[in-house]
Structure 1
Amino acid sequence: MKTVLTPRGVRRVLARHPWVWRSDVVDLPPKPGIYPVTGKRETLGWAMVNPLSQISVRVFHFGDTGDPLAALWKNLDQALAYRIGAYRADPEAGLRLAFAEADLLPGLVIDSYARHLVVQAHAAAWEPLLDELARRLQETLKPHSILARHDSPVREKEGLPRYVRPLAGDPPETAVVGEGRIRYQVNLRAGQKTGAFLDQRDNRIFLGREVEGRGYRRGLDVFGYQGLFALQVSPHAESIEVIDSSAAALVAARENAALNRAGNLTFTEANAFDLLRERERAGEEYDLIILDPPAFAARKADREKALRAYKEINLRALKMLRPGGLLATASCSHHVSEADFYEMLSQAAADAHRLVRIRARRGQAWDHPLLLTVPETHYLKFALLEVLA
């Protein structure tokens, strides 16, 4: 049984994009599974196929192969080999071990939090392979535990049940993770994503180093979640205020501050847009502002609305920064391109009547690799801006 694509679907696979939408498929198998993908005749690749999903085809091997499962497990081996040096070097770290399509492991994310692994598999064909996946992870990595965090609403779009269950060992409720100079707690069973946002890890450490010795008095960490940006910069400022609309997130941030004995952090539960508007109108001034919002553009149709939202928060932040102050700002919306992001920042600087220098242009952490032919893998933009006047 095979999956037959339209000419447009064929062109997409030949261009080495792994996703084919249902509208570009001529013939689909009746059940989810692993199947060859063809045009009129030739085999173009092997894919995880799901007739229930809008993304019906997720290619993991381009070209023909006599053993598709062997090809899939080879992709896993390559993903682990890319990261295993870091995994072994720092047993307390947070690390992404598999990044879905970027590692040719469709819909599969594996994160390590101090050697406790959290797995999220959002492609239906993974479901019968989970025990074998856990066995291979145990054999290669010797983790303390492996937890399946299959509680995301995304699974419903794939026709999959939502559940959380151990795959190996006895996963704890929380794990303590080391990140540069700080430590923080991760709720393995109920935290955002797999427990934390590891894609910003390198940017948080970078920012902590950049502000060292600058003698800042007052900082603001907006959309602060667990307070990790604030903790990285806390030794180099008199006070940092963490803002989030989630009371639960601020509880976690307070616990992390206590864990690191960071007594100069304060916490405010508020809507970020309202708070920034009120503080800017009141003439408040800061030396450092961090903006790490959630994705404002979940769909391509949301792009323009998202850019307006990004501009508003960045405009107000730039207006509140003293000369010499820094704005660390990010976007994790892959529908907002890097060019869009920097054009928005340019417009915000102009409207704020501020002269602004780019100190750094960065993206997601190294263990979240990018594929040139898969723009969806390049989603995180991070800019460090300095207000000159």
Structure 2
Amino acid sequence: MTASPKGRICLLPRRARPFFAGHPWVYRASIARIEGKPDAADEVSVFSAEGAFIARGLFNPSSNIVVRLYRWEDEPLDEAFWRSKIRAAAHLRGGVLALGDPGAACRLVFSEGDGLSGLTVDRYDRWLVANISSLAVHKRREMLLEILREVTGCEGILARPDRATADKEGMARGDASILGNIPDGPVGVLENGLKYEVDLVGGQKTGFYCDQRDNRKAVARFCAGGRVLDLFCYTGGFSLNALRHGAASGTVGIDSSAAAIAQARRNASLNGLDRAEFRAADAHEALADLAEKGETFGVVICDPPKYAGQAKDREVAMRGYRRLNAAALRVLQPGGILATCSCSGLVDRASFAAMLGQVAEETRRPIQILEQRGQAADHPVSAACPESDYLKCFLCRVG
């Protein structure tokens, strides 16, 4: 596949500033015209309305993001370029953050956060799982997987299209690739002194949520002596941290996925924390049932899936967060801790905090925000791309 530009993308007047500043997403609404005849996944150059070169990127006329930008020098997006970006990402995790220990789980490549829009890679011990959200990256996957194996020395890589964006990008959801060997069963990893099994093939996203690593430990500080409700618990990360750090009255984890609940129970047994209780149920229905029975908790954790995948979903998402958190307060003891999260990049921190203010008004219960946290450091935020600051985790005391 050639790395030379196949087209020239000319922007509308007064649309170039974010891209000169390094934002990687060029939407159709910013484009004045396309010169040449680039095909999907071809390399293109982007220019301002005045004719100034901005960056090189990859083209997809079917996507909401028509061009993803990668290089702000007028140089090719060749194999050497991709290798340098992946090496830099790996050095950040291993050389700077010291997350490369045997058995560790970490995000090795974080898409826009590492200047590799459309490519997310998680490392689980000696294996990698790549989640691809760009057709152009997907078409370069053989080269990228070889570079990943060369840089990391891993035993095997599983790469698959991101389910949420596959249709929009023109990728077949089931078009997975394997390089090397992938284990038949789950892989064991260690995080915060706790053991977890990760299903590389059948798990959600890449199998585990490394972005909440530090938040799981932070929430556990408030759980000593209390009873904890862990909503959308997946495979038990918050619950097990809470028990390890003193949730003497036990934990109740709720998730709609029966497979996730089964894995959470196995993770509890792996760590000798069989006091953890897990239930397969809808979180909203479970909250209503708990409230009707008069059950209460000292700590309630809300870590729902993404509510806003597109800008048009934002208003509905905010109503969803408001409804969820108001329901959570019905089972939270006075003076209890609410740990509430949003992984929707389209919902900013100010809006999330304002939503909590609305919940306080609706429930007539004062909410004190003690900490505003985000994703772990192996999910770095690009200053040029605010959307990469996607995870909000607010720790609140509720009167």
Question: Normalization by structure 2: what TM-score?
Answer: 0.89
Distance 1:23 1:169, change over 3 A: same
Q: For 1:178-193, what aligned pairs fall within 5 Å after superposition?
A: 178-193=190-205
Q: For 1:26-175, what aligned pairs fall within 5 Å after superposition?
A: 26-27=33-34, 29-39=38-48, 41-65=51-75, 68-85=78-95, 86=97, 89-150=100-161, 152=163, 154-161=165-172, 162-175=174-187
Q: For 1:222-371, what aligned pairs fall within 5 Å after superposition?
A: 222-235=231-244, 236-237=246-247, 238-371=249-382
Distance 1:305 1:129, change over 3 A: closer
Deviation at 1:87, TM superposition (A): 5.7
Deviation at 1:105, TM superposition (A): 0.7
The equivalent residue for 2:12 is 7
Is the Cα contact below 8 Å between 1:47 and 1:61 reproduced in 2? yes
Is the Cα contact below 8 Å between 1:2 and 1:38 reproduced in 2? no
Is the partner of 2:390 in helix, strand or coil? coil
Does 1:19 pair with 2:25?
A: yes
Is the partner of 1:143 in helix, strand or coil? coil
Distance 1:309 1:52, change over 3 A: closer
The Cα offsets for residues 29-48 of structure 1, whole Å up to 9 and x where unpaired, read as: 13422222223533311111
Distance 1:151 1:360, change over 3 A: closer
- Mapped to 2, the partners of 1:344 and 1:377 lie a distance apart of 21
Distance 1:197 1:16, change over 3 A: same
AA matched with 1:234: L
Deviation at 1:142, TM superposition (A): 1.4
Distance 1:373 1:53, change over 3 A: same
Task: Identify the range of structure 1 (165-174 vs 113-122) with the bigger mean alpha-carbon deviation.
Answer: 165-174
Distance 1:167 1:89, change over 3 A: closer
Is the Cα contact below 8 Å between 2:161 and 2:171 reproduced in 1? no
Distance 1:198 1:124, change over 3 A: same
Residue 230 of structure 2 is aligned with which of 217, 221, 245?
Answer: 221
Is the Cα contact below 8 Å between 1:319 and 1:354 reproduced in 2? no
Is the partner of 1:215 in helix, strand or coil? coil
The Cα offsets for residues 93-142 of structure 1, whole Å up to 9 and x where unpaired, read as: 11001111221112001100112111122323334533332332223221
RMSD: 2.1
The Cα offsets for residues 177-214 of structure 1, whole Å up to 9 and x where unpaired, read as: 11112111111012111111111111112222443xx3
The equivalent residue for 1:206 is 218
The equivalent residue for 2:3 is none
- Mapped to 2, the partners of 1:257 and 1:350 lie a distance apart of 38
Task: Identify the range of structure 1 (128-137 vs 222-231) with the bigger mean alpha-carbon deviation.
Answer: 128-137
The Cα offsets for residues 334-375 of structure 1, whole Å up to 9 and x where unpaired, read as: 222100111111221233232333222101111111122212
Is the Cα contact below 8 Å between 2:356 and 2:367 reproduced in 1? no
- Mapped to 2, the partners of 1:221 and 1:104 lie a distance apart of 34
AA matched with 1:34: E
- Mapped to 2, the partners of 1:266 and 1:123 lie a distance apart of 39
AA matched with 1:141: T
Is the Cα contact below 8 Å between 2:9 and 2:44 reproduced in 1? no
- Mapped to 2, the partners of 1:196 and 1:58 lie a distance apart of 27
- Mapped to 1, the partners of 2:351 and 2:310 lie a distance apart of 15
Kindly tell me the number of residue pairs found equivalent between the two proteins. Answer: 385
- Mapped to 1, the partners of 2:182 and 2:287 lie a distance apart of 43
The equivalent residue for 1:376 is 387
- Mapped to 2, the partners of 1:151 and 1:325 lie a distance apart of 37
